[in-house]
Amino acid sequence: MAFWRRNTHIEKERHVKANARDYNDKFSYADNRIKTSKYNIFTFLPINLFEQFQRVANAYFLVLLILQVIPEISSLSWFTTIVPLVLVLVITAVKDATDDYFRHKSDQQVNNRQSQVLIRGSLQNEKWMNVRVGDIIRLENNQFVAADILLLCSSEPYGLCYIETAELDGETNLKVRQALTVTSDLKDITKLMDFDGEVICEPPNNKLDKFTGTLYWRDNKYPLDNEKMLLRGCVLRNTEWCFGMVIFAGLQTKLMQNCGRTTFKRTSIDKLMNTLVLWIFAFLICMGVILAIGNTIWVSWIGRNFQVFLPGEEFQSNAVFSGFLTFWSYIIILNTVVPISLYVSVEVLRLGHSYFINWDQKMFCRQTNTAAEARTTTLNEELGQVEFIFSDKTGTLTQNIMVFSKCSINGQTYGDVYNEFDEKVEITEKTACVDFSFNPLCDKAFKFYDGSLIEAIKLEDLAVQEFFRLLALCHTVMPEEKSEGHLVYLAQSPDEGALVTAARNFGFVFRARTPETITLCEMGRAVTYQLLAILDFNNVRKRMSVIVRNPQGQIKLYCKGADTIIFDRLDPSSEALMYTTSEHLNEFAGEGLRTLALAYKDLDEDDFEVWMKKLLFASTVIENREDQLAVLYEEIEQGLKLLGATAIEDKLQEGVPETIACLNLADIKIWVLTGDKLETAMNIGYSCNMLRDDMNEVFVISGHTLLEQLQLKILNSVTHRVSSVGDVEKTDMFADDSVFEEAIIAEYALVINGHSLAHALEPQLEHILLDLACLCKTVICCRVTPLQKAQVVELVKRHKRAVTLAIGDGANDVSMIKTAHIGVGISGQEGMQAVLASDYSFAQFRYLQRLLLVHGRWSYFRMCNFLCYFFYKNFAFTLVHFWYGFFCGFSAQTVYDQWFITLFNIVYTSLPVLAMGLFDQDVNDQNSLRYPSLYKPGQQNLLFNKRQFFLCTLQGMGTSFLLFFIPYGAFSVMVKEDGSHFSDQQTFAVTIATTLVIVVSVQIGLDKHYWTAVNHLFIWGSLTVYFAILFAMQSNGIFGIFPSNFPFVGTARNCLSEKSVWLVILLTTVVCVVPGLVVSFLRVDLFPTLTDKVRHLQQSRKKEGPQEQNLRRVRRTSSRRSAYAFSHQQGYGELITSGKNMKMSTVSSAGSPGRTPHSSTWIENMLKRKNEVPIKNMII
């Protein structure tokens, strides 16, 4: 499979011949087997070990191990290092192996999928992995495309087929692919068998939207482009079958080429930890040097003379050399200040925290059946330090569901509900919605609350009828009617779907269309309109029109579009109506609704004839066709008569304003980066409370000019204004309303569009932009490209030293998700691309609140506590050797038993600290959400920084000092109760070791805030295990078996049965713990942090019993802004009039005969997609 990798020559051009395996084999192209796994059974051990020893920590411990084997240096037995090292290696290897096993499984599953390949004149089922370049394969509806294939023909007319590319680019709308005309006739197998075209094309690359090649067949050349390609990862939709020729297979497919290795993200704690570890190494070396010098002195003063009883070997008689050896011996002994278990424990904690995120029910979305997922398990604590959030808009803040919410018809608004006192009633779920039962074809999901519109319809108000007729006629929606009355619309944009559905419910049901006709069911009567022309939408026109001939023979033009555009083209007679409608539009816009104006025009038969001729002529012109058409369209779309306006609600996701408000309180800055228009973006900004009317100023930068000077000016002036306000805010700016000056904290917002951003991101301006943006409370960037999104994130990341989080749902957010410190994908909306690139994924924006304020905060808190304690513990543990060095001739004699050194970190003290790191909570989740300010210490890095590190190592050193010198004082003269001498090394070791275990257990008890049963179990369990192992290892039995490995036999028994030893232990424990206790008590008592206060409150609450929580309410402010949005693509009109996509309507009217039972409809697909397991495993 990795054949192509071994190929040293770079493929410049690809030659593929259909149905010619022998020919294609010459080139040794990759076959269709994919392999994402790293190992197999035989390579696992060497490769995995090699990888593991590339890590600095592991390599370091390997070096230590080697040092320990040298007998002159070895101050510790080899097992003290090898046991933890092996444990770590084994755990990591097991994890790698399981990961790889699942990769193998998913590879295998994908490789073993069946596909139908044309071999030797017949279709044969082959596994995917056996498909080869040049093969012709048959795909059926809803199948994944097996490789990158050239579409040859399909079941649909004109060789069309529909695909869904959600896996590739995140877009859920169907895309059309069309085969070459010459190949689209090859519909039966014999013809396909004879197909021997040769494709010469570009070599494999990762560009999803580009393909260039040529098909040579029957002495003709046919150009190929991306529109004829079906890429691996796509799904065939609404197409019964199609045939294609494999061009790229396996790892050379565009999908696989796009599976770039994502850069490994590290958290700031990680980086800090690395720095600290370096410091500790430096400290270690210092201690080693001190002790080595001590040894040199000792050897020259005492050791030289002590040779009577302790002869040095020849080379050791040299004091300096002895010092040198001692240095290494001490490096070995003192290495436990950075124990290997630190790295393992940190990973375990992060994994645990990730599981807690995965398990959180409150981040589970029932609608989409998706739970939150921590896809990266190494970033959790960073979630507690986020300062900037970069959010996408569509699909993230909004649901991308459009709902027909209000309308204005002939100067009359509909959609609001009033009660008997003529007061507006807020629409809630209890509000009775309009009964559409009169209409058998209605969409039951559609809801409308204002009954007066129905009455107007029933009264046969002409304007209202015309209004809905327009909505039913003027669009590019495709209907699908699988069974009688069961209509499904395939809309290109959700806006359009919403409008047509509204018309449908109000009795103007769009039923069917052919290239020449549109059939409506108007109030139960089938009416067929002749479709004369579609004047398609584009971004410049911002409108679309249809020209139809109604059954009465009248020709009518129906137009819908942006209000400003429509208002410019109105007949003077509509002027009065225009003003009222305009007012209504402002009202709608103020509620954050997306508006469209509707107008119509009666056309004169003759005029139309003339125009139509011009149109036909223009559409055959090659040059400037677009422009000519535009002129023609412009010509006929004049003198329109206004009908009214529609207002569509771009539904926000649940809880978005509340979440944003909450995150704001936590001092998290939220920037919205969207590809949407300025107006839409601002609207959403207002509706989710990011922009407010009470803000001092909203700066809008939307220059379209390319003049940098101008940009500079704007930016400078704005910066100047803001900074002057920032500096002397109370004097300048608010001189007028000085009454409020005390209360007002300057709040600004910045809205900037893509053009301006492109300039502002240039090196000389980016600082100004950043400073300016950081002065603002809200920043919205609209019309930005995916690349710009990443640039903005990069800018903040580079200059602000703050943790950034990017959240988005679509393929266009991938770059920003990958760039930010933390990427969050919204799952279950628009495909998987963002989720696949993300570190965390969940279904709704509002879960971000919980992810950050609860999980992030906890993770950070726990990790910091864990690290502080861990460093403390190991300093206390290890530095005892340092002090002992002064009393044992700097000979690197250990204080403890070697077994104790081996087991201390991995057995005796690992579980309590892990339990603390996993379960500790200072404040419960409700209060974490309730007091978002609790999040701030994380942003300011207060819980674990260099200062904290010094404090905890200092505490560790102090403890080690006391741990050594109190027993030293006691043991200088100590005898047993039976008078036998007792100040021997083994007793000393057992006493100090026991004291150490007790002290660190007591200390963790004091550091712990949340004592669950597990914590109790682990702490008491660890103590029990310590004593059990102690006695077991010093028992007669084990000594009898291995006398040279367990020389401590009987020490524990003799030692711990002495009262004086226990008195020493008690004294040492109290002395070690009390100072820390005093300090933390004073801190809590005199300078309580918010956390302490909330904890206090929480406890007093608990005593009082549960209280009713007062709920924070965020109200949307209303203000008048105009909005316009029409998320449309150009080109669908042409597709409709050409009739290429008409198969569905013809079939549906015939009651769908001839369709295979599993042919599926759009709605079914959509539903299936909803229920499907995340497809990430399936596509690779």
693 annotated as belonging to a binding site for a ligand = no
Residue 294 CA to residue 290 CA, distance in Å, equals: 6
Q: For residues 482-501, which are near another protein according to CB under 8 A?
A: 482-483
Terminal CA-to-CA distance of the chain, rounded, Å?
Answer: 15
713 annotated as belonging to a binding site for a ligand = no
On whether the CB atoms of residues 1027 and 1035 are closer than 8 A, the answer is no
783 annotated as belonging to a binding site for a ligand = yes
Q: Nearest CA to 1056 among 1029, 1027, 1033?
A: 1027
Structure tokens at 1076: 């820390």
Q: Residue from 58, 165, 335, 370 that binds another protein (CB under 8 A)?
A: 370
Give the binding range for another protein (CB under 8 A) out of 146-154, 180-188, 689-697, 1085-1093: 1085-1093
Q: For residues 1143-1162, which are near another protein according to CB under 8 A?
A: 1157-1158, 1161
324 binds another protein, rule: CB under 8 A? no
537 annotated as belonging to a binding site for a ligand = yes
Q: Residue from 1044, 1103, 1105, 1154 that binds another protein (CB under 8 A)?
A: 1044
CA angle 1071, 919, 1068 (to 5 degrees): 10
Q: Residue from 290, 630, 1114, 1178 that binds another protein (CB under 8 A)?
A: 1114
1107 binds another protein, rule: CB under 8 A? no
**In whole angstroms, what separates CA 377 from the centre of its chain?**
13
Catalytic annotation, pick one of 31, 135, 169, 392:
392
850 binds another protein, rule: CB under 8 A? yes
On whether the CB atoms of residues 390 and 383 are closer than 8 A, the answer is no
362 annotated as belonging to a binding site for a ligand = no
Structure tokens at 493: 């944009």
1087 binds another protein, rule: CB under 8 A? yes
Q: Residue from 9, 12, 261, 366 that binds another protein (CB under 8 A)?
A: 366
Residue 1158 CA to residue 579 CA, distance in Å, equals: 53
Q: Residue from 1081, 1120, 1134, 1138 that binds another protein (CB under 8 A)?
A: 1081
How many other C-beta atoms lie within 10 A of the C-beta of residue 892? Answer: 27
Q: Residue from 108, 268, 1098, 1130 that binds another protein (CB under 8 A)?
A: 1098
Whichever of 461 and 984 has its CB closer to another protein, that residue is 984
**In whole angstroms, what separates CA 1124 from the centre of its chain?**
30
Decide: helix, strand or coil at residue 162. strand
Structure tokens at 518: 């549109």
Q: Residue from 36, 37, 318, 358 that binds another protein (CB under 8 A)?
A: 358
Give the binding range for another protein (CB under 8 A) out of 129-137, 624-632, 1129-1137, 1168-1176: 1168-1176
Residue 22 CA to residue 203 CA, distance in Å, equals: 20
705 annotated as belonging to a binding site for a ligand = no
Strand partners, 412: 409
1020 binds another protein, rule: CB under 8 A? no
Task: Return the CA Rg of the chain.
Answer: 37
Strand partners, 414: 407
392 annotated as belonging to a binding site for a ligand = yes
DSSP 312: P
Tell me the pairing of strands 555-561 and 417-418: unpaired
Q: Residue from 1057, 1080, 1129, 1146 that binds another protein (CB under 8 A)?
A: 1080
Residue 920 CA to residue 935 CA, distance in Å, equals: 16
Structure tokens at 236: 């065939």
Give the binding range for another protein (CB under 8 A) out of 243-251, 311-319, 602-610, 746-754: 311-319
602 annotated as belonging to a binding site for a ligand = no
1041 binds another protein, rule: CB under 8 A? no
1096 binds another protein, rule: CB under 8 A? yes
Residue 1082 C-beta: closest distance to another protein, Å: 7
Q: Answer positive or negative: Cα dihedral of 378, 384, 387, 391.
A: positive
Q: Answer positive or negative: Cα dihedral of 578, 583, 584, 589.
A: positive
Strand locations in 7-121, DSSP E?
A: 14-17, 114-119
Q: Residue from 972, 1103, 1104, 1105 that binds another protein (CB under 8 A)?
A: 972
Q: Residue from 14, 846, 857, 1128 that binds another protein (CB under 8 A)?
A: 846
Residue 807 CA to residue 789 CA, distance in Å, equals: 11
DSSP 515: S
1077 binds another protein, rule: CB under 8 A? yes
Total binding residues for another protein by CB under 8 A?
138
**Distances 825 to 392, 445, 817 between C-alpha atoms, Å:** 10, 28, 8
800 annotated as belonging to a binding site for a ligand = no
Q: For residues 144-203, which are near another protein according to CB under 8 A?
A: none
Structure tokens at 784: 């930005």
- Letters for 589-608 (x = contact with another protein by CB under 8 A, - = none) are --------------------
Residue 869 C-beta: closest distance to another protein, Å: 16
Q: For residues 202-261, which are near another protein according to CB under 8 A?
A: none
Whichever of 745 and 1111 has its CB closer to another protein, that residue is 1111
737 annotated as belonging to a binding site for a ligand = no
CA angle 75, 76, 78 (to 5 degrees): 130
Give the binding range for another protein (CB under 8 A) out of 205-213, 243-251, 543-551, 977-985: 977-985
Residue 553 CA to residue 557 CA, distance in Å, equals: 13
Residue 825 C-beta: closest distance to another protein, Å: 16
Whichever of 82 and 1017 has its CB closer to another protein, that residue is 1017
Residue 859 C-beta: closest distance to another protein, Å: 11
360 binds another protein, rule: CB under 8 A? yes
Residue with tokens 């007091």: 931
Q: Nearest CA to 16 among 179, 207, 217, 208?
A: 217
Structure tokens at 402: 């459009």
Q: For residues 1052-1071, which are near another protein according to CB under 8 A?
A: 1053-1054, 1058-1060, 1063-1064, 1067, 1070-1071
1094 binds another protein, rule: CB under 8 A? yes
On whether the CB atoms of residues 964 and 883 are closer than 8 A, the answer is yes
Q: Residue from 889, 937, 938, 956 that binds another protein (CB under 8 A)?
A: 889
382 annotated as belonging to a binding site for a ligand = no
Structure tokens at 154: 């399909």
DSSP 386: E
Q: Answer positive or negative: Cα dihedral of 231, 232, 234, 235.
A: positive
Residue 1053 C-beta: closest distance to another protein, Å: 7
> How many residues does this entry show for the chain?
1180
Strand partners, 595: 647
560 annotated as belonging to a binding site for a ligand = yes
Q: For residues 392-451, which are near another protein according to CB under 8 A?
A: 427-429, 444-445, 447
Q: For residues 907-966, which are near another protein according to CB under 8 A?
A: 919, 921, 925, 930-931, 933, 966
Whichever of 482 and 783 has its CB closer to another protein, that residue is 482
Spatial CB neighbours of 783, under 8 Å, sequence gap ≥ 6: 674, 675, 676, 677, 678, 753, 754, 755
Whichever of 952 and 1064 has its CB closer to another protein, that residue is 1064
Decide: helix, strand or coil at residue 146. coil
Structure tokens at 1103: 């005593």
- In the residue annotation, 461 being an active-site residue is answered as no
**In whole angstroms, what separates CA 323 from the centre of its chain?**
55
Spatial CB neighbours of 1177, under 8 Å, sequence gap ≥ 6: 106, 109
Whichever of 622 and 1013 has its CB closer to another protein, that residue is 1013
135 annotated as belonging to a binding site for a ligand = no
60 binds another protein, rule: CB under 8 A? no
Main-chain dihedrals φ then ψ at residue 564, nearest 5 degrees: -60, -40
789 binds another protein, rule: CB under 8 A? no
Q: Residue from 69, 1074, 1134, 1138 that binds another protein (CB under 8 A)?
A: 1074
Annotated catalytic residues are: 392
Annotated binding site for ATP: 392-394, 496, 537, 560, 594, 674-676, 783, 789, 812-813
Annotated binding site: 392-394, 496, 537, 560, 594, 674-676, 783, 789, 809, 812-813
Annotated binding site for Mg(2+): 392, 394, 809, 813
